[in-house]
Amino acid sequence: MSSWPQALFEQHPAFRLLHPLLGQFRAIPTHADWDQLPSPARSPSGAPIRFVDPDSITAYYELAIYQHGTVATRLNWHDTFNALIWHRFPRLKIALNQLHQRQISQASAPNIRGPVRDAATLFDECGFILPYSQPALLELLQQHRWEALFLTERAAWGQTIAAYSFGHANFENLLAPFVGLTGKCWPIAVAAEFFSWPLDLQLNWLDGELAAAVDADQLQTPRQLPPLPYLGIPGWYPQQDTAFYQNTAYFRPKRQTIPSKV
């Protein structure tokens, strides 16, 4: 999809958190377009975050951000959504960059990875922030009781549980969705009144809370991030009937663990 899908952006609930920014464009933004917007944050070096041509950068991707504030940005959907998320969740983006830097400083080379950086990258690419105020809903998620979570508890979405995409790859996938799309989510308990707040206040609060969690090294392994077959979220896909949710090839039941013999 190369044209600007304005109707999709206006109608699909996932893009609601990006509306203030998407409304300023009618085509994939150029680097000059990004320069017209205020920088969303400053790098740990103090440099403003800027979205630049990858060919202008010689440092490793994360190090370029950390040292110079330069985010390699191609003129495509994937990197466009990445830049938009920088504007929406700047503190969390900076916290993840600092997490990468802490890990890189302990490794023999920048491209040496481990579970912490794998978790950070997974969340950055296909992560969802999942605020909830009813623990029973989190239990349904953890037990992979998808029909109950998405269909039986359909009215709870937006009232006591919500999903906000942080991963920029999720937005790209929703331009042409197909059954099978699954992200990783970071559940976060919130007070009941959270869901009555304006969207901007919700996102700002989540940005700060998760940035603090990342700064405190609470993200350690991809296993912390439960799967989320996000086309099941009410209103995120056209055909959400009972048969849809009973497709176990997509809505996979929780794997049963076999007790080890003593």
Left (φ > 0), alpha (ψ -120 to 50) or beta: where does 158 sit?
left
One digit per residue, the tens of pLDDT, for the chain of length 262 reads 568 999 999 999 999 999 999 999 999 999 999 999 999 999 999 999 999 999 999 999 999 999 999 999 999 999 999 999 999 999 999 999 999 999 998 877 777 789 999 999 999 999 999 999 999 999 999 999 999 999 999 999 999 999 999 999 999 999 999 999 999 999 999 999 999 999 999 999 999 999 999 999 999 999 999 999 999 999 999 999 999 999 999 999 998 765 555 4
CB burial of 143-169 (b: ≥16 within 10 Å; e: otherwise) equals ebbbbbbbbebeebbeebbbbbbbbbb
Sheet with 164-165, side-by-side order of all strands: 164-165, 127-132, 183-189, 227-228
CA atoms of 147 and 155, how far apart (whole Å):
13
Residue 231 CB partners (closer than 8 Å, separation 6+): 177, 179, 181, 237, 250
Return the pLDDT at 82. Answer: 98
